[in-house]
């Protein structure tokens, strides 16, 4: 499946290369690099992004930098694109974007700027009893912070035993509810957070995956 997806991305990039936006190029590069060596298609995309330096800097200035940083980080070795993105990140004024501290920390790590990880902002005010009435926005933001704290799958989020217990309970409940509601938009970030926390053994995780894999709306 991964190889088929990789081949599709490579064909997509080759046939529509000139019409792709910076974000579309970054997403395509990230998808190709995740499934193996980037090959000719990936290298061509990286070179094109590096050659469109002004457009890349505009993306950073507009706060649209995470996909670019993930794409460059997925490459097996440093490239001119990596240098451009690092320079673009370091040139940003932290007051110019609204990312939470932990997401900003993760972006800095991807850009090669080493710093201690801040506390997860949402966990500081997470009331376990509120899991029954959590808003979709809160669920999404908490899933985003868990992903950032894991450096997008590169390390285990540093939660205390109490935080891990409370978050695990909440994620299991949300996965159960969103599966029953057939709400893919909310279920996917919850499942991703469970995966990053190593909760693949929970029954709600397996039920959610079975639903996602069998849902026809996921196939485009």
Classify 215 in phi/psi space as left (phi over 0), alpha (psi -120 to 50) or beta. beta
Q: pTM for this structure?
A: 0.69
What's the pLDDT tens digit per position in 183-204? 999 999 999 999 999 999 999 9
Better pLDDT: 1 or 71: 71
Give all strands (DSSP E) within 55-163, no chain letters.
none
Query: At a CB cut-off of 8 Å and minimum separation 6, what does 62 contact?
Result: none
Average pLDDT score, the chain: 80
Task: Indicate whether 159 pLDDT > 70.
Answer: yes
Tokens 């190709």 belong to residue: 32
Task: Indicate whether 219 pLDDT > 50.
Answer: no
- pLDDT band at 35; cut points 50, 70, 90: low
Residue 216: the pLDDT is 45
What's the whole-number mean pLDDT along residues 178-187? Answer: 93
What's the pLDDT tens digit per position in 47-103? 888 889 999 998 888 888 888 888 777 776 678 888 888 888 888 877 767 677 888
């Amino acid at each position: 499946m991964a190889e088929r997806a990789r081949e599709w991305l490579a064909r997509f990039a080759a046939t529509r290369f000139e019409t792709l936006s910076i974000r579309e190029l970054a997403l395509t590069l990230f998808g190709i690099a995740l499934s193996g060596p980037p090959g000719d298609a990936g290298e061509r995309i990286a070179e094109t992004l590096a050659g469109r330096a002004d457009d890349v800097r505009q993306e950073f200035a507009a706060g649209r930098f995470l996909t670019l940083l993930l794409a460059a980080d997925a490459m097996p070795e440093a490239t001119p694109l990596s240098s451009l993105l690092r320079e673009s990140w370091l040139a940003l004024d932290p007051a110019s974007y609204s990312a939470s501290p932990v997401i900003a920390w993760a972006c800095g790590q991807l850009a090669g700027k080493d710093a201690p990880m801040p506390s997860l902002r949402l966990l500081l005010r997470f009331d376990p009893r509120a899991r029954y009435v959590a808003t979709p926005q809160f669920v999404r933001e908490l899933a985003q912070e868990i992903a950032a704290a894991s450096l997008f799958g590169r390390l285990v989020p540093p939660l205390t035993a109490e935080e891990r217990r409370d978050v695990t309970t909440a994620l299991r409940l949300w996965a159960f509810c969103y599966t029953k509601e057939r709400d893919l938009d909310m279920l996917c970030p919850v499942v991703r957070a469970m995966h990053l926390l190593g909760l693949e053994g929970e029954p709600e995780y397996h039920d959610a995956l079975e639903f996602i894999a069998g849902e026809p709306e996921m196939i485009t």
